[in-house]
Structure 1
Amino acid sequence: MVRADAAVTVKVLQQATEADYGFRPSYRKVWMAKQKAVAQIYGDWEESYAELPRWMLGIQATMPGTITVLKTSPVQIGGGVDESTVYFHRLFWTFPPCIEAFRHCKSLVSIDGTHLYGKYGGTLLLAIAQDGNSNILPIAFALVEGENAESWSFFLSNLREHVTPLEGILVISDRHNGIKAALEAPETGWLPPRAFRAYCKDSRRLLVNAAYAKTEAEFYYWFDIMRTENPAMCDWANRMEYDKWTQHEDAGRRFGHMTTNISECVNSVLKGTHNLPVTSLVKSTYGRLAQLFVVRGQTAEAQLGSGHEFCQALVKAIDRNLRDSRCFTVTLYDRHQSEYTVAETTPTGTFSLGSYRVSLKDHRCDCGHFQALHYPCCHAIACCAYSRLNWASYVHEVYRMTEVFNVYKQGFLPPIPEGLWPPYAGPTIIPDPNLRRAKEGRPKATRIRRSMDQSQENQPKRSGLCRQPGHTRRNCHQRTHSGGGDA
C-alpha cells in the first residue's frame, strides 16, 4: 500500500491490518512501520541525507543552470567540531525550465509552506506561478527546519535572485510573521517599487466582499456595512495598507487572485512527496515537473496548432462579456484618447442600469474589471464594437496561446545514470537529530504524576478482573471459569 501511495494515511493502514489479521495495532506502531516501509522502498532515512550532495551534482550535470543552494551546520563533538560530518540545515532548488517558464507567466507568485510527515520533520516551502490559462506551476522549492524569519529569508532571497528578478512583481502570502519579516528585510529584494506584497483574504463575508470589490465605490459600500456590524474587524482591517488586501487598490497586479489557493492546489502535483526521505523528495520534484511540462506543453501546442489565439479561460470570459455588451448605448467623447461613456439598459431598453466611463487607451473602466483582470470587460467590448476596433489588441500578452506555449517550451532532460554522476568530496551530511519526529523505544510519559499515582509500600497485588488481593489477572478464578486462556 505504501508503494502504491506514499501518502496513504496511518488510519487506512490500521483498518487494512485489522481487516486482514483481526488485530488493530496502535497508531504509533503503524506509523513506525510505515516509516520502515518507506525506507525499504525509497531508501534509508539517514543515508538519504548523505546521498543528497551527489544527486545535486548529478542533476546539475544533467541540466546545466539548475540552482541548488545547500546550507549546513557543524557537528559538535565534545569541545570541538567534527570536520567529517555536518548537519543538514536548509536547501533551495529550482530548475532551468521553471526559471524560463516564469518569464511567460503572470507577474505574481504565491508562496506557502507545508509540513513534512516522515521520520524527520521540517517544512517544504513552495513558490507557485500561474500561466494565462489558469494552470498552476511550481517554480522553486526549499527544505527548511520550520517557518520562521530566517528560513523564509533564505527562501525568498534565493527566489528573488535566481527565479523572479522582474521589477514590479507581486507576492501573495498569508500574514505569517516570518514572511512579513523576510519581505521587509532590504537584502531580500522584495521592497517596493521592485516588488509588492498582497495578503490573501480573510474568510469573513463582509471583509471578503470589500476585498474583492473592483471599484472604490463598491469597496466603501461593503466597508461601511462592516463598520456598522463589526467595528472591531473594521479597525483591524484599517491597520493594514489597502493595497495589500484590496483588489481596487492593487493597480491590477493580482490578476484577480485574492487567495493562496494556487499554492494549496499544488498538492495535486506533489502528492505523497511530504512522506519521502529527503533525496527522494527532491528527486520527485524533478520527475513530476518533467511530466507536467510534457502534458501541458502538448496541450498548448495542440491548441496553438488549431488556430486558437487565446487560452480557453480567456475565451470563456470574453464570450460572456460579448453577450453582456448587447444592451449598452455607447457615446464617444474623445476620438484621439479613446474616451467613452457606456449606458447600460435593460434588454428592452426601458430602464437605465447605470453609466460607466471607459478609456481604451488607459485600459480602464469604472466597473473595475478591465484594469483588474487585464482583458476587456463588457463595457470595453461595446466601445470596441462601436468604433470598429479589435478587442483582442487590449488583451494582456499573458493570455495569448503563444505565451502559454512558451511557458512549457523548454522541457526537462532524462537524468544521467547514477554511476556517471560527478564524485562528491565534501563532508558527510547527516540529519539534525532535533528534527527526529519519533524516538525508538517506549514513549516518554508526559502526564504530571501526583500523590494519588504513587504506589503504597507493601501493598498486595490485586487481580485486574475481580479486584481481589493475593493473585493477578493470569491466575484469576474468573478467567478460568469463563474458559479463557493465555493469548
Structure 2
Amino acid sequence: MVRADASVSIKVLLNATAATHFGFRLTYRRVWLAKQKAVALIYGDWDESYNELPRWVLGVQLTMAGTVAVLKTSPVRVGGQLDESRAYFHRVFWTFPPCIEAFHHCKPLISIDGTHLYGKYGGTLLVAIAQDGNSNILPVAFALVEGENAESWSFFLSHLREHVTPQPGLLVISDRHNGIKATVDASDEGWLPPSAYRAFCIRHVAANFALTFKGKDARRLLVNAAYAKTEVEFYYWFDILRSEDPAMCDWANRIEYSLWTQHCDEGRRFRHMTTNISECVNSILKGVRNLPVCSLVKATYGRLAGLFVRKGREAEAQMGTGQQFSQHLVKCIEANLKMARCFTVTVYDRDNSEFTVAETTPTGSFSLGSYRVSLAYQTCDCGYFQALHFRVPTHWHAVPTHGLHGSLTSTRCIVLVRSSVFIRWVSHLPFWRVSGHHMMGRLSSLTPIRGVREMIVLGRSKPAKEMWALSAAGLHTSELPTARRSRAYTGA
C-alpha cells in the first residue's frame, strides 16, 4: 500500500491490518513506525537522504545547465571545536531552468504558500506557483525549511526574486503570515511597489474574519464584496454587511482595499482571488510530502518533467488543428457569444471603437442594464475587461455587424492569449534529462542530532515536534529554548 501511495494515512493502514487473522490489533504508533520503515525501504533511508541530497543536486546541475539549488547548512561543534567534516541541514531552495523560462510566458503573478511535510522528520515545503493563459498551474520554485517564520520566508522569497521572478510589476498572492509581511516590506528584498505588489488570499481573509464574527452569511457577504469588479458592486455588498453589524465593516476597513478587493487591484489579480497551492499539491505533487527529502526533491523533478511533456503534446495538438488561441479562452469566448444574443450594441465613436451595450432578457421584454465599452482604452463598465486583461498583444473577436475590430462577449471583454504563446513554455523538453547521475568525491556529511532523532522516534514529544529536522536538525543549540535544550540536544 505504501508503494502504491506514499501518502496513505495511518488510519487506512490500521483498518487494513485489522482485517488480518493475526489475532491482535496493532497500535497507531506501531503502524506509524512500520510505515516509516516501508517508506525508507522504497524511497531511501530517512537519515541518509540528507547526505544524498547535495550529491544528487550537484549531478543535476552538471547535466542541466541553469538549475538553481541553494543549500544552507549549520556548523557542527564537538566539545567546543568545529567539525568541518560534518554539517547540519538547514534549508534548501531549488528550481529548474524550464520553470524559469516558462514563467516569462505566464501571467505576471505568483501565489505562495507553505504546506507541512508528513514524513518522519516534519518540516515545511514552500512553493511558488504561476498560471499561464490556458489556466495551467505551474510550480516554479520550491524550498524545504524548518517552518513558516520570517527567516525562512526571507530565504525563499529572496532567492525566488533573484533567480525566477526578476520582472517588475509582479503581484504576489499569499496569506497574511507575518513572516511574509516582514520580507515583502523589507526595502532590500525587491518586493515593494512599483517593483512588486502584494495581495491577500481572500480565503484566508475570510477565515480570519470568521474567527471574530460567526455565521456563514456574514462571511459570504465579505467574500462577495471582495470579488466585486466595480466600486458600485463592492459597496452594494459592503452596505449589506454594515447593516448586519457595523463592526464587521470596521474589521475589514483595517485592511487596505488594494490587498483584498478586486475592484482596487488595477487588474493585477487576473481574477485570482485565492492561492492555489492546495490544488497544485494535490494535482502535481501528490504524495511527495510523505517522502525523505532527497526523494521529495527528485519527485518534483520527475513530476515537472512529466507535466512539460503532457502539456507540450496538448499544445502541439491544438496548433495542429489550426487553433489560434488557448483552449480555455476559446471555451470562454464560445460561452459568452451564446450569451451575447441578448445584447444590443450602439456605436458612438467608430474611430475609437467606443459603444454602449444594452442587456435584455431573452424575450427582449425587460432591460437588465447598459454598459459603456471602450476598446481604445480597454475599459468596460462591467469591470470584466479590467479584471481579466493580459499585458500581451491581443486580438479581439469583433462585433461583425458593426465592423468593429474588437471583442464583445456578454460585455465580458476577455483578452485572448495565442496558442503560440502557450506552446513556448512547454517547448523546453530538451532541458529535461534522465536523473540519476552520481558524483564521486568527498562531500561534507549532513549529520543528525542524536538526541532529537531518539525523541522523535520514541516519544514524539512536543519539543521534538517543534524542532525541524530530526536528522536534518538545522538549528543551532543557541537557537533552542533554554529549558528544552538539555532534553532535545545531546551533541552530535
TM-score above 0.5: yes
Matches within 5 A, 1:39-188: 39-188=40-189
Counterpart CA distance in 1 for 2:310 and 2:384 is 32
Q: After superposition, what is the alpha-carbon deviation per residue over 1:263-319, rounded to whole angstroms, capped at 9, x for unaligned?
A: 443322111111111111111110111111111110111011111111222112112
1:305 equivalent to 2:306? Answer: no
C-alpha displacement of 1:232: 2.2
Tell whether the 8 Å contact from 1:71 to 1:88 is kept in structure 2 after alignment: yes
TM-score normalised by the chain length of structure 2:
0.84
C-alpha displacement of 1:404: 1.4
Q: Which amino acid aligns with 2:152?
A: S
Aligned equivalent of 2:266, options 248, 251, 264? 251
Counterpart CA distance in 2 for 1:436 and 1:128 is 33
C-alpha displacement of 1:431: 4.0
Counterpart CA distance in 2 for 1:437 and 1:196 is 45
Counterpart CA distance in 2 for 1:138 and 1:283 is 14
The residue number in structure 1 matching 2:483 is none
C-alpha displacement of 1:135: 1.4
Counterpart CA distance in 1 for 2:450 and 2:171 is 37
1:239 equivalent to 2:240? Answer: no
C-alpha displacement of 1:55: 0.6
Counterpart CA distance in 2 for 1:130 and 1:283 is 23
Tell whether the 8 Å contact from 1:59 to 1:415 is kept in structure 2 after alignment: no
1:386 equivalent to 2:402? Answer: yes
Corresponding residue SS for 1:344: strand
Counterpart CA distance in 1 for 2:425 and 2:94 is 19
Q: After superposition, what is the alpha-carbon deviation per residue over 1:308-348, rounded to whole angstroms, capped at 9, x for unaligned?
A: 11122211211222122223232322333322222222334
CA change 1:67–1:444 in 2 (3 A) is: closer
Tell whether the 8 Å contact from 2:353 to 2:404 is kept in structure 1 after alignment: no
The residue number in structure 2 matching 1:28 is 29
Counterpart CA distance in 2 for 1:330 and 1:105 is 33
Q: Which amino acid aligns with 1:315?
A: V
Task: Between 383-392 and 263-272, report the one with greater CA deviation.
Answer: 383-392
CA change 1:444–1:94 in 2 (3 A) is: closer
CA change 1:62–1:432 in 2 (3 A) is: farther
Tell whether the 8 Å contact from 2:171 to 2:196 is kept in structure 1 after alignment: yes
The residue number in structure 2 matching 1:402 is 420
Counterpart CA distance in 2 for 1:227 and 1:165 is 41
Tell whether the 8 Å contact from 2:398 to 2:405 is kept in structure 1 after alignment: no
Corresponding residue SS for 2:19: helix
Q: Which amino acid aligns with 2:162?
A: E
Corresponding residue SS for 2:52: helix
Tell whether the 8 Å contact from 1:88 to 1:432 is kept in structure 2 after alignment: no
For these two proteins, the number of residue pairs brought into alignment is 439
C-alpha displacement of 1:17: 1.3
Corresponding residue SS for 1:171: strand
The residue number in structure 1 matching 2:445 is 428
The residue number in structure 2 matching 1:16 is 16
1:439 equivalent to 2:440? Answer: no
C-alpha displacement of 1:151: 0.3
C-alpha displacement of 1:405: 1.1
Which blocks of at least 5 consecutive residues in structure 2 are unaligned? 208-218, 391-395, 464-492
TM-score normalised by the chain length of structure 1:
0.85
Aligned equivalent of 2:433, options 411, 414, 419? 414
CA change 1:439–1:351 in 2 (3 A) is: closer
C-alpha displacement of 1:71: 0.5
What percent of counterpart residues are identical?
66
Q: Which amino acid aligns with 2:423?
A: F
Backbone CA RMSD of aligned residues: 2.4
CA change 1:385–1:182 in 2 (3 A) is: farther
CA change 1:432–1:94 in 2 (3 A) is: farther
1:207 equivalent to 2:208? Answer: no
Tell whether the 8 Å contact from 2:56 to 2:436 is kept in structure 1 after alignment: no
CA change 1:348–1:42 in 2 (3 A) is: closer
Which blocks of at least 5 consecutive residues in structure 1 are unaligned? 447-487
Counterpart CA distance in 1 for 2:460 and 2:158 is 40
Counterpart CA distance in 1 for 2:376 and 2:304 is 39
